[in-house]
Structure 1
Amino acid sequence: MIQLIGLKRDVKLEVREKFSVIQKRCEKFTKSLKEVCDEVVVISTCNRTEIYFNAKDHDDAMVNKVFDILGWDINLKNYTFHYKSNEVIKHLMDVVCGFNSLILGEDQILAQVKEAYEIALNSKTVHRDLQRLFQTAVTCGKEFRTKSSLYKIPVSSSSIAVNESRKRGIKRFMLLGFGEVGQLAAKYILSSGFEVLYIAVRNPKVVDIEDPRVKVIHFDERIKNYDDVDCIISCTSAPHCVVRKDNLPQKAMTIFDLAVPRDVEEEVYNMENVTVYNIDKVSSIDDKNRKRRKDIMIENRCIVDKHIKEFMDWQKIQSISGEIVNLKKCGEKVYKKRYKTFKNKRHTKDNEKLAEVLFKSTSDAFINRAIDVLKEEQLKGSAEDCMKIIKKIFYVAE
């Protein structure tokens, strides 16, 4: 049974970060979960942690196993939900199209879901059901964004952070981290007027931006350059705080903490002249295009429903896959028996007559059996339903 353990929508950041799975540990946890599940995919972003898995067991004991493997506090179980079967399918399709994002219609989630699926593929933790589900979801997300033209009004935590800083007249920035979120933030900063952008990373070679105003520095050099900027956008995958009160200059500063777990320590929030936006505060900022995106998404909801039905139909067919295999085996028996006869008599004078006899014999093998079944069902009083099926199978050949 396909299942999902995730965090409820109204869970606060302080609790969410206790469930976060650091990106570089996703593969390790995915493989560990595979020991108790048939299939598993782990999605972990700044706003969600979701474990998709396929397992025979679907009770509380199974949930407890997942908590234990991930090192989650079982006392926080009430902050999570446990979906099964169709609930999971609908949820993932909504997620990949941005319906369930804190920032409605945000354009990062599709890439994040795709990345989680690729990690599972590389770890060999998906094969049939979850593989098909995530392939369908990614296709759904792409079609939804293309046909709804949401890409023309992109929004993300990065774009909101940069737009908010522009409202404050900020032109001197520092980026901590250059993953997907950091790259988006850099893109938005570069698209408008700014004086300087420091990008602090562990490996400066990963940044390839040719602009004299952009200074790529090693992560350890960030502190000595704080005094030269007015805004810090932090989006690392560190499991600990990287922006500390003791390291910040005594000056007005705006800090956006887009990471989960948080990059900015609590003491920074109480500093004079320092304004800190965590990911929840950023997500709550009502950007000017929110209503427009919402209307467009509702208009294109039919795309999501189409892909939900497509996957559910595939599941129904899979439930009879064993019988389909058996039918093919029966067909092989019929033709192989007659092919053997043909091989033994292929040198006879009248090959056309032999072919006619063999073809008729093949036809009779199925027609005679259908007639026998129809007679049996007539005696039971259910010949009408039986005849409908027989017509679908045989009358198409007319």
Structure 2
Amino acid sequence: MTLFVFGINHTTAPVDVREKLAFAPEITASALQQLVSQTTVSEAAILSTCNRTEVYGRLTLDAVQIGEPHLVVAKWLSEFHQVTLDQVLHHSYFRQADQAVKHMMRVASGLDSMVLGEPQILGQLKSSFSVARQEKTATSHLIRMFQSAFNMAKYVRTHTAIGENPVSVAFAAVAMARQIFARLEDQTALLIGAGETIELVARHLHDAGIKQIIVANRTLARAEELAHEFNAQAVLLADIPDYLAVADIVISSTASQLPILGKGAVERALKQRKHQLMFMVDIAVPRDIEAEVSELDDVYLYTVDDLKDVIDEGMRSRREAAKAAEVMIEEGLVTYLESERSLDAVGTIRDYRQRMEAVRDDELERAMLLLAKGEEPQLVMQRLARGLTNKMMHAPTVQLKKASALGDDQSLALLQTMFDLNKTL
């Protein structure tokens, strides 16, 4: 049997293809059961995100021997999602054995992500593992594969700066806020807009411990939806003047063609704040905050261009960290393979011991019967010794003769080493 990964991601397939092959959470469990019951896949887990769909699993020996084992999963995906096989094959990749393990380690560590080093993928991978464990489609081999990937991801993040520097606009904005304020927990943030970028900003602020967040949006329903997720307050854009004075942090990202905040509004808010510092980030293009706001004292105003330098520096740092991470993964892969080989040896040793114990028990039972019949103990012991020797020697003797007849010097040398035949008794 062999481990494998079959998948598509942001580098191999456009979004319209990724959408067709995605697995919603509510169908993943049944998909796993179908995969292991209807194909030669014996263990399986499915990772499905906006940027990738990957099937991790283990193929039976029959599937590997037939050849082109990737077709097993490709055909199943094609039928499950009603997508042509040609389309699946055109946009997919297949890794097996050690390369499959290495791929999972890279995914878990954020090295295969659209945003290098992003941490969300590790949580998504853990969720896919949890579902597979719950459905009992991930057992011994796949469990060890996932655990090795998780351990590697933790090691990479502990020993490199792969996730420490901002590489997204949302992350960079919050990182700059951290530099301005000693304790974000004590600040109030006003977020203008409710799109994907503002949602990420809210998530980063929430993770940083900020307790007071106000979400202002053109439609109240969307603001309330976002506010509910982060225990925030939802208001309309028209209400911004009523809340601006309490905002220590203002981050704006809307699709408005005209500025939402002017110099006068900010100036009035500063007077109410008694000129307490205000940090503002305008991520929008066109800008949401008038450029003249930067002329005001007690205001730090940054635009998306100002964040670009922070993001570029973060990417350079992450690329350097990624080089070190790749080396760690290569070393971790060697350790994993050594561990797997040792487990194989344990199984072989167990089987060999069981066979020898069966031979021992058989010969001992025969000897006990002879003694019960009154046979001479010395003769019974000699017969027991000969019986044990002959039966234990039979299989190795047959294999030695075969190896010698075939000129298999490697097997002969291995057997000599195993039985320590080079030493003089």
For the aligned pair, the TM-score class normalised by the smaller chain equals 0.5 to 0.7
1:109 aligns with 2:135: no
8 Å CA contact 1:7–1:79 kept in 2: the answer is no
CA drift at 1:190? 3.5
For residue 89 of structure 1, the aligned residue among 94, 101, 104 is 101
Q: Specify which of 196, 206, 210 is matched with residue 213 of structure 2.
A: 196
Contact 1:226 1:249 in 2 (8 A): no
Q: Counterparts in 2 of 1:146-225, with a 5 A limit? A: 146=158, 148-150=159-161, 153=164, 159-160=171-172, 162-163=174-175, 171-173=189-191, 184-188=203-207, 190=209, 196-197=213-214, 215-216=231-232, 222=234, 224=236
Identity, in percent, stands at 16
- Aligned counterparts of 1:153 and 1:20: Cα–Cα separation in 2: 30
Paired with 2:82 and 2:288, the residues of 1 have a C-alpha distance of: 35
Deviates more, 1:35-44 or 1:111-120: 35-44
Q: How does 1:302-321 map to 2 (within 5 A)?
A: 302-311=327-336
Query: Does the Cα contact within 8 Å between 2:47 and 2:55 map onto a contact in 1?
Result: yes
User: Which one-letter code corresponds to 1:173 in the other structure?
Assistant: L
Q: Normalising by the residue count of structure 1, what TM-score does the alignment of the two structures yield?
A: 0.63
Distance 2:45 2:89 in 1: 22
| Contact 1:172–1:196 under 8 Å retained in 2 | yes
- Unaligned residue ranges in structure 2 (runs of 5+): 182-187, 216-222, 245-249, 262-283, 290-306
Partners of 2:365 and 2:212 lie apart in 1 by: 84
Deviations 1:154-177 (A, max 9, x none): 657563463488899994137789
> Residue type of the partner of 2:260?
A
2:391 to 356, 365, 370: 365
Q: CA deviation at 1:298?
A: 1.6
Q: How does 1:1-398 map to 2 (within 5 A)?
A: 2-9=4-11, 11=13, 16-17=18-19, 19-37=21-39, 38=41, 39-55=43-59, 56=63, 58=69, 62-70=73-81, 77=88, 80-86=91-97, 87-146=99-158, 148-150=159-161, 153=164, 159-160=171-172, 162-163=174-175, 171-173=189-191, 184-188=203-207, 190=209, 196-197=213-214, 215-216=231-232, 222=234, 224=236, 227-228=239-240, 231=251, 252=260, 286-311=311-336, 327=352, 330-341=355-366, 343-344=368-369, 358=384, 361-367=387-393, 370-371=396-397, 373-374=399-400, 377-378=403-404, 380=405, 382=407, 384-395=409-420
What is the rounded CA distance, in whole Å, between the counterparts of 1:119 and 1:141 in structure 2? 20
Alpha-carbon contact 2:101-2:333 (below 8 Å) kept: yes
TM (normalized to structure 2)?
Answer: 0.60
Measure, in 1, the Cα distance between the counterparts of 2:117 and 2:128: 19
Preserved contact between residue 176 and residue 201 of structure 1 (Cα < 8 Å)? no
Query: Compared with structure 1, are the counterparts of its residues 114 and 196 closer, same or farther at alpha carbon in structure 2 (3 Å cutoff)?
Result: closer
Partner SS for 1:67: helix
2:160 touches 2:325 (CA, 8 Å); kept in 1? no
1:310 deviates by 4.8
Question: Given the superposition, is the C-alpha separation of residues 356 and 297 from structure 1 closer, same or farther in structure 2, using an over 3 Å criterion?
Answer: farther
Separation in 1 of the partners of 2:397 and 2:34?
Answer: 55
More displaced stretch, 356-365 vs 388-397: 356-365
Task: State the distance in 2 between where 1:69 and 1:94 align.
Answer: 27
Distance change >3 Å, CA 201–CA 392, structure 1 → 2: farther
8 Å CA contact retained: 1:3, 1:52: yes
Aligned residues: 347
In structure 1, runs of 5+ residues without a counterpart are 208-214, 234-242, 254-269, 276-281
SS of the residue 2:46 aligns to: strand
SS in 2 for 1:172: strand
Displacement of 1:83? 0.6
After TM superposition, give the deviation of residue 391 of structure 1 in Å: 2.1
Aligned to 1:258: none
